[in-house]
Each structure stands twice: as structure tokens, then as C-alpha cells.
Structure 1
């Protein structure tokens, strides 16, 4: 059996046979390329068999001729691959139809692959990339994704040839031939991946990638990653870029969630071991291979690394685009479009928050400074007065994260002065300012000053938001931390108990906010050296966090860290080591290796390992 025919047989085995079948049963996913040459393709019959096996359509062809071909056959470009080629039907779809009366240059039989009907170097050539995707994706999205890859990497669309299984496999043979074994398929697939070398993994939507739900997609990512010889790039349709940027702009809702929470939840939920397949035997084989190789966790981390890379690039490109648009209005200092100026500055602020959540506090500080400069350059002293105050608050938060508490306090006080002037001393915005000043004073060891600010904030929140509001609970929690720093452990317990009571009343007993409250209780018992009680509370917190947020969520990582710390103090180093490793795994999966939380978790691991070595 030749390479092309064998690969085609495998595809039939791995892919659902009908567009009517559930999308969750889709299993073919195809990856990208690497071998480039400038050979002009004039006659596919004259090509070497191995060359023919790697022929692929150009992005130029897909964007122009192929999309028109779809329309000419009575379909819209939002059709999926299932819509244009139903492999269960004896009647050829438009992919098989294209090569129905063409002799296959591989086996000399009638019925060729779609790609072998194409002519001209602008349309077809040796694959430079391989697309890994799902047949449930819309054709327009696939094409838009590939065009975006070319534009973002300055690639010539006429010289960028993408191997796509539905077009490059001979679908006539897929329908005609029987199945092949998993191992034979794997060997054929390896030749394909290594022969091309550049993989474009198409993931959509960004906040719930269907790609990661398909075990064959996971397999392609695994093979590319394991080879250490392939470049893997995550790409998404441009509309996903807009969706992500819109999420970044979305303000915090009544539950304290925003678009950044969606992003980190997506990363926390990345678990290739949960992917599905039509054939459970295939899934078992693939997960076994992953476990025997890098392991599912390592692959999850790699996928998240690529996802974070795409997100950061998209977000920073978005900033440059909106700032450039403002500067094109003439000069930044002369621009009179107040609405546009405000939109740009607000977007910079949201991006600053994203960078802060990712642990990039220096870059976040720069972004908030950029927002302030845009506001401050507007004519009129009172223009953007409230926005400037909010930016002072954001700057204060970033200075605090960087350990520059004096500048943090200065920025928060500037915010307070403006908020008191605009809103008075009993407004929720002013409450936020008091709270943040209290947080910095606590870190400056001005504990009495911190208590004064926290209690002022709580008094406003109880009056404006109610005694059962989560912000009120947060205030009591931080008062408890000050009492803990003052070694008033009884006072701290009372504050933490009050905070936990409010959290449970307002959110229910199985909410992540309740897990945070239980964590506070665990910490105070830890400080009192009541380690069994500390462990009991941390276990309750961990149970909620694992169930609701998942093992890799950063809040779950904090639960692992806290519980591990309690076991360490109790002298149970084995359990401490396991939990501290889980904490690091959670932070690494979501944030990456350079994040402060990941570094702190590693420091704890070093401490526990040292204790184990000392016996």
C-alpha cells in the first residue's frame, strides 16, 4: 500500500463518516509543514511520487479560487468540511467531484485527490505548512486563519502551501479502502509531520477551543511536540481576535468576573486527557503514547504556552492598532476626538490589567502610564478627571506588586483626593481607594493606619452595598490579616469567621469565594500552630476549588500551597512535597515558568526537598 493510499485509509478510520454525525465525534485533524522549494508545478503526473504526496494548495488559491468554487457549487463559505464532503454518501461531494474524472498520479486509477487537479505555481506546490484542524470548522474561518498567518508572518500567499487533509488526501480512496492499524497510521502520520515540519494548530473559539476536545488533534500536537523538529504555531480566525479583545475590554460584572477570568479559566481547563474520539481504542492508544512520552500534564503546559503566546501577541497588536489610529488624528496632544482618546486609554488600562494578571507587572505599569499620558494630554484640567483617578489607582496597584510601596501609596492617595472631591467620602469608589491605601500601609508595617483605612472602607460598603456583600466580606478578611500581623490571633479569627459567614450567606457553601474564606481560616490556625485545624480548613477549601475551578486554576494552586505549608509545619514532608508540586503545576500550567507565583511555588519545593534530605 503506497503512502498516500494508506494515509487515506487511515483518515477514513479516524474521521466520522457523515456530516450528520455529532461534531464531538470528529477525529481528523491535520497539521502543518516545513519543506519549501520553488519548483513550478505544471503537470502533477510528471512529479516524483513522494513529491506528489506533499503537494498542497497555496493560501492564495484557497482565498480566491477555492472560495469561489464553494459558491459556484451552491454552498456558502460558512459551510463546514462535513457540508462539502460527506464520506458516508456514495454521491461525491464537491471535493471528490473535482477529481472524479481525473487519473490519480499516485496509483494510475480514476479519481484523484483534489490537490492533484490543481495547476500553476501560484496555486499548488510542495507543502510549507500543515494545518491541524477539525472538520467541523467553517471553511471561511479556515481560509481567514491561513491568510492571517501569512499576513502576521510576512509570508507570500502564493508561495505558502498548506497541506490540508480534506484536499490533499485522495478522498476517493478513503471511501473505497478499508481501515489500517493504529500503529501503521502513526508511522504514516509521522512521515507527514516530519516531512513538512511546520504545524498550524487552528483553535477556535479562543475561550473553548474545539480542537482540544478532539483526541486526534491532541495526537497531532503530541507528535509535533515530541519530535522536537517541528515548529508549532497556534492560529485563530480574525473574528476570534476581536472576541478576545472585546473580552479584555469587558468590565467586571456583579460577581467580580471579567474577560480575564474567562481567559485564565480556559487555561486552567486545558486537559488533553479529557479529549474525545469516535473510537475509544484510538483514544486509549493516543493517551497511552502521551503518557509514555512527555505526559498529559507536560502537553497541557505546552498547549497553554502556545495559547498565552497567541493571546499576548493579539493583545499587544491591538494596543498598537488603537494608539496608531489615535495618532493618525494628527498629533496625540492636538487630537480633539475626546471619545476616541477615551476609548484608547481605557483599552490600554484593560491591557494593563491583563498583563498584571499574567505577572508582567513592569509591562503593566508601562501600559497604565501610557493610559495616563493619553488622558493627561487632553485639553482642560477637568477632562477625564475620574479616569485619571482610576489610573492613579491602577498605577498604585502595580507599584505595590513591584514592591515600591512609597510610590504605590502616593498614587493611591492621589486617587483618594480626586474621588473624595467627585463622589464624597461615602461612595463605593472612595471605599475602594481607602481599601487600597490600607493594603499598602499594611505592607509598610503601618498596621494601625491600615486598620483605620480598612474600617473606613467597611463602613461605606456596609452602608452602600449591604452587610452581606462580598466586598464587605473582603474588608473583614483583610482586617483579619492585619490582626494576624499584630499577633492578635483571637481578633483575626473573629474577623475571618465573620468574612466566611458573609461569603457563605451571599454565595452558597460551594463557591470559590467561600474557598478563599476557608483558606483564611486555615492560615490563622496555621499561625496559631493548630495545624490539624489548619489542614481541615485548607482541605475544605481545596475540595471546593478543585471541583468548581479545576486542578490547574491559580486559586486551586493557592489551596495546594497553603495545605502543603501546613503539612510542612507539622513535619509531614511527603504530603507537603506532593502538594507543593501540585501548586507549581497549577501555576506553571496557567501562568508559565516566569510568573512570581510559579517562582514562589518552586522556592517552597526547594525548602521541602531540603527538609526531606536532612531527614
Structure 2
């Protein structure tokens, strides 16, 4: 039996994770459905033919409005099955029921929670779908602005802990649904605890992809996916939901602020996930080549996140293993020296970075040949260090040795080509060759747009490179045009208050003043 609940507590009744994993999944199977069925498959809101969810309460009187047809949750009894909500699930109805249940079970296990006392408020089971279907038939929705704050606002604030379900890992459906984005932002804005959760199979796939040979590219895919939130482009099952939600946002927080808040929240989550996976792999005490490969990959990930000291520690562990098992004159050992050079350059230790890059270059040229792709990578890194030191001629020699090798792989390594073209542009600009510098900046932009898309921060950086150079040449109008192309990207990805965004604001203001 449930303890006696008041009216407000009754409105927050939720289904236990244990019930979902056992009885609910049995009902799904008995209905001829499977773990691969979506919530849309379970309940289509057809008035003539109730689905699995509405069938549960079809002949039960709702305890709230006392009409026939109750919410699924109001048909349950027993503390192991139903209770006052401890968590609010934010998800898409296009997710499979198996993924939803597996995600919640994994969340309980990972956090040491008793699934029989972890009660999940899920809209499809806790909102009366009989009333939603009736509203749909009458041309309205149960989620008018008034109902929204009643059903969602009060619930999520009182429950206090929102679970945002992301799947698949590289292109979350969640970020295409207006309700999901708004729920996540609203919970965060109202100081609710927000936990991003993922189906176990997606976590396993993410781990596999991150620590494979293409791990850095996959990190870029993940970060890029989590930096493209645009609630104004998201969809909802009912158009009037979009109108109501977008109207509220436009007159309150504004699109740019909400999108940035969501992007930052998700990118912080991604960093935490990557960090947790890295710790898991680094706990392996083995000193074999597989461990060295993973260490090198984790070091590159840490380097990408700006954690240079941590990256160096991991790379040096990989180096010890590879020196012991492979010796110094080996391509894999050279790879580690290259990675160490990159991390040292990242933390500003250019003198030692040059030494490590030179070790990598000597071995790679001897073992792999002067035209090998890895040799070009080392030349590019070496050139960046020399550029930082103001040694422009030597830097240019390195970049011009790298670029033709990169271009042989133009179909798969656009990002490296773009970086190298930008580096050459920076050298030429430093030498006063502004026309040639602009040409290289524009080539970098073309490759970044091709491989990263028009809304990536690196693409915005290319617009800023071009704008700054145009301003230097006296083309104020052209400079402002390119700064204004960069600005909306930075506002969404980094936020209006970020120093890089503020620099563009200032550059536009300064350009206008000098015009």
C-alpha cells in the first residue's frame, strides 16, 4: 500500500524504475510489441483505438477530474511500483521503449539507487493521455501555455532532478525537439539538478569510437552535435506547442541565450563523460601496446580540452611502454613524441616542444619516408611552434612541406588542410604579404565550411581572420561583413559574454568608428 498522499503529491505520482523494467516491459511484449518499439508505437492517440498506455486506464475513473479514463500511473499500486516522483525524465517519444528502460536501469545502478524507490515522472505515463487525445481531436493540445506551467513547471521544480536522455550519441534526437530543449533549459534556469543520461549501448559505442584510431574526429563530431542547439528550428508534435514555447522564449530569455545555455550544459556533460571513460582506461595497470595506444589517445583528448599537464602525464606513460617494447626507432614511439610536443606547445613550453617534435620528425622521415602523412603532421606542429616564436621563415618552410602531403589526402583530412592554410596565412600576414595571406585564409575557410559546416567555431575563427586582414588593408566594409558572419556562430556556441564574442563586438564597433 502507498502511504497517504495529499493532492499535490498525488499529482506527482511516478512509476518506479523497477516497474518499468519488469511489469511494464511484460505488458509491451504481451501487446505484441518489443524493446525496439517507440512510445509512438505504444500510444498513437487515436480516439477510436487506444494504445497500450491508454488501455490501462480506459475503464478507470481519473482521481483528479473524476471522469472515466485515467492516466497510466493512476492505475498502479504498491510502493515497489508507484510513488512520489524522485526524477523527471526529459526524452523524445521517438526513442525506443527498450532504450528508455535500459537508460533508467543503468542510471540507478551507476548511482547506487534502489530501482524500487526511484520513481520516474514520464509524461506518456503520468499525464492523462485520454485528455491529450480528446484535446487533439478538438484541435487543441493539453499543453497550452497555462497547462505547460501547471504540468511541467510545477512538476520539474518540485521534483528537482531532471534526467535528459541523449541518443544517439553523435546526433541526439533530443536536440531536435522543442519540448526537450525547453525542459532542459527551464530546469537548469530554475536551479534543478540536471543529469544527462544515455542508453548503455550508446555509452559503449561512444567509448569504442572515442578510443579508436579516429577518436579525435569523433570527439569533434560529439562536440559539434552538442553545440548546434537552435530551439527556433526544433519541432514538436503539435505546432501550437512550438508557437507557445518559442513565443515565450523570444519575449523572455531570447533564443541566443537559451541555445548557449543548453550548449554549454551539454558540452560540460560531454567533457565529464570523456573524463570518466579516460579514468576507467587509465586504471588499467598493464604495460602492453594496447594500453600505450589508449594512453596516447586519451592524452590527445586531454590536450584538446586544454588539460596539458594531464595530457603530458598520460603521453609519458605511453612513451615508457613504447620505448620498452618497440624501441626509439619506431613509428609508434615517434607518434608519442609528436603528441608530447603538441601538449608542450599547448602549455606554452615552446623550447621543449621543438625538441620533442624534432625527435618525432627524424624518426618518421627515416622509418616512414619523407612524403608520409605523419611526417606532414609533424611539420605542421613544428611550424606552429616556430610561428609562436616569431621565426616566420622557418615556420613557412615547415608549412609548405606539409601542405602538399595533406592535399594528397584532401578527401579525408580537410581539417588539417584548413589549419595548415591558416598557418601559412598567418606567416604571410606577419611578413606583410597581405594579398597572399588573404588567399590562404579564404582557402582555410573553404575547407572548414566543407568539413565542419557553416556554424562551427573554427569556421567563425576563419571569418575573423579574414575580417581582421581586410581591416588591416583598409577594407572596413568588408571587415564588418565578415565579422558579422562570425558573430551569430560565436553567440550560440560560446555565448554573448565569452571573450571571443566580446572581441568581435568590439571589432565591429571599432570598424564602424573608423569608417
Q: TM-score, normalised by structure 1?
A: 0.71
Residues 77 and 138, structure 1, Cα contact 8 Å, conserved in 2: yes
Residue in 2 that maps onto 1:549: 453
Which residue does 2:120 correspond to in 1? Answer: 162
SS in 2 for 1:112: coil
2:274 matches 1:315 = yes
Conserved in 2, the CA contact under 8 Å of 1:352 and 1:368? yes
Q: Assess if the C-alpha contact under 8 Å between 1:568 and 1:608 holds in 2.
A: no
Give, in angstroms, the shift of residue 346 of structure 1. 2.6
SS at match of 1:258: helix
Structure 2 Cα separation of the partners of residues 445 and 194 of structure 1: 55
- The residue that corresponds to 2:347 in the other structure is 402
Quote the Cα distance in structure 1 between the aligned partners of 2:321 and 2:484.
Answer: 44
Listed as ranges, the gaps of 5+ residues in structure 2 are none
Task: Say which is worse superposed, 152-161 or 125-134, in terms of deviation.
Answer: 152-161
Structure 1 residue 423, shift from structure 2 partner: 2.2
Deviation at 1:133, TM superposition (A): 1.4
SS at match of 1:352: helix
Please say if 1:203 is aligned against 2:161.
no
> Which sections of structure 1, spanning at least 5 residues, go unmatched?
1-39, 504-511, 517-543
Instruction: Report whether the alignment pairs 1:295 with 2:254.
Output: yes
Matched, 1:346 2:293: yes
Q: CA deviation at 1:54?
A: 0.8
- Classify 1:220/1:362 alpha carbon distance in 2 versus 1 (closer, same or farther; 3 Å): same
- Give the structure 1 partner of residue 148 of structure 2: 186
Identify which of 370, 379, 382 aligns with 1:434. Answer: 379
Conservation of the 8 A alpha-carbon contact between 1:584 and 1:602? no
Is residue 485 of structure 1 aligned with residue 417 of structure 2?
Answer: no
Distance 1:465 1:163 in 2: 50
Report whether the alignment pairs 1:280 with 2:239.
yes
Matched, 1:69 2:27: yes
Q: TM-score, normalised by structure 2?
A: 0.83
Higher alpha-carbon Rg: 1
Change over 3 Å in CA distance of 1:365–1:593 after alignment to 2: farther
Per-residue deviation, 1:405? 0.5
Say if 1:264 and 1:590, in contact at 8 Å, map to a contact too.
no
Match of 2:446 in 1: 514
Going from structure 1 to structure 2, the CA distance change for 1:451 and 1:186 (only over 3 Å counts) comes to: closer
> RMSD between aligned alpha carbons?
3.9
Residue in 1 that maps onto 2:2: 41
* Equivalences for residues 449-464 of structure 1 within 5 A: 449-457=394-402
1:106 is displaced (CA, Å) by: 3.0
Post-superposition offset of 1:283: 1.6
Q: 2:81 matched to which residue of 1? A: 123
Equivalent residues in 2 for 1:378-397, closer than 5 Å: 378-379=324-325, 381=327, 385-397=330-342
1:478, CA displacement in angstroms? 4.3
Q: SS at 1:205's partner residue?
A: coil
Q: Which residue of 2 aligns with 1:137?
A: 95
SS in 1 for 2:88: strand
Provide the secondary structure at the position in 2 that maps to 1:155. coil
2:264 aligned with 1:305? yes
CA distance in 2: counterparts of 1:198 and 1:373, whole angstroms: 45
- SS of 1:200's equivalent? strand
The CA deviation string for residues 357-406 of structure 1, in whole angstroms up to 9 with x for no partner, is: 34444444444334334434x54636x93222111111211211222101
- 8 Å CA contact 2:228, 2:263 repeated in 1: no
Instruction: Provide Cα deviations, 1:282-306, integer angstroms capped at 9, x if missing partner.
Output: 3222111111121111111122122
How far the C-alpha of 1:451 sits from its partner, in A, is 4.1
> Secondary structure at 2:226's aligned position in 1?
helix
Alpha-carbon distance in 2 for matches of 1:363, 1:580: 35
Structure with more relative contact order (C-alpha pairs < 8 Å, separation 6 or more): 1
Q: Distance in 2 between matches of 1:197 and 1:574?
A: 50
State the partner residue of 1:217: 180
